[in-house]
Amino acid sequence: MAFWGQFNLVDAASPVQSEMFLFHDHAMVLLLGIFIFVSIIGVKFLMNTLTSRTVLEAQTLETVWTILPAFLLVWLALPSLRLLYLLDEQSGTGLILKSTGHQWYWSYEIPLCDSGSFDSYMVPEGDLEAGEYRLLEVDNRAVVPYQMETTVIATSADVLHAWALPAMGVKMDAVPGRLNSFSMFVEKPGVYYGQCSEICGANHSFMPIVVEAVDLKDFINLEF
């Protein structure tokens, strides 16, 4: 969960989100280097120290600043493609959690538990207890075991929604009449918060997502 004064992103709780952090740092190094280089060149031009013919009519320099950006793009593209493949990888084993978006709440179903479905509504501000988060708490959390692969199937019963959980590196559209699936591996126990990331109507900001990760033994003993 985010906290006041936090400088970085929300702490990663899955291997995919950790890889996203690494790619973020990788890209920031590239962007910072380009920013510093362009700033230095701009200052030198403003000070009229780079206005000689060796700079303004230099074919070698033109070749360098054409080829160098191509190498920089490759340096950025290779880890990006690797991350895309990791996001699409699905094992097909473990728990299945079906999430259905409604205006404006979520319904969950765990087929292997044979427990039917349950709805997850946002807790009104007046009903919050001490320590609970405004606009993020729900009356029924989706519970999954940690250290176990979970396949989330997202769909919608009415309009476009998006099931997003930042700590897991998960964001998947919930489309009416279509089943989109993705894998989620929770590394540690805890409560993880997200929200619908699609503008789905007037109450779009009032359909949060809360996933609680528990030990497998505790998950088996739960009564859904």
Q: What is the pLDDT of residues 129-158, one digit of tens each?
A: 888 888 999 999 999 999 888 889 999 998
What is the helix, strand, coil percentage profile of the chain, to 5? 35, 30, 35
% of the chain surpassing 70 pLDDT: 88
95-220 falls under which CATH superfamily? Answer: Cupredoxins -  blue copper proteins (2.60.40.420)
pTM for this predicted structure: 0.78
Q: What is the rounded CA–CA span in Å between residue 141 and residue 20?
A: 26
| pLDDT score recorded for residue 111 | 80
| pLDDT score recorded for residue 5 | 66
**CB 198 within 8 Å of CB 204:** yes
Q: What is the rounded CA–CA span in Å between residue 16 and residue 153?
A: 18
| pLDDT score recorded for residue 83 | 85
Structure tokens at 19: 């890889």
User: 140, 182, 180: which is closest to 165 by C-alpha?
Assistant: 182
| pLDDT score recorded for residue 84 | 84
Going residue by residue through the chain, which has 224 residues, state the pLDDT in tens, using 9 for 90 and above. Answer: 556 666 677 788 888 888 888 898 889 999 998 899 889 888 877 777 666 666 666 677 778 888 888 888 888 888 888 888 887 776 666 788 899 999 999 999 988 776 668 899 999 988 888 888 889 999 999 999 998 888 899 999 989 999 999 888 888 999 999 999 888 889 889 899 999 998 988 888 899 999 999 988 888 877 65
Domain ranges, ordered by start, for the chain = 15-88, 95-220
Tallying the residues shown for the chain, one arrives at: 224
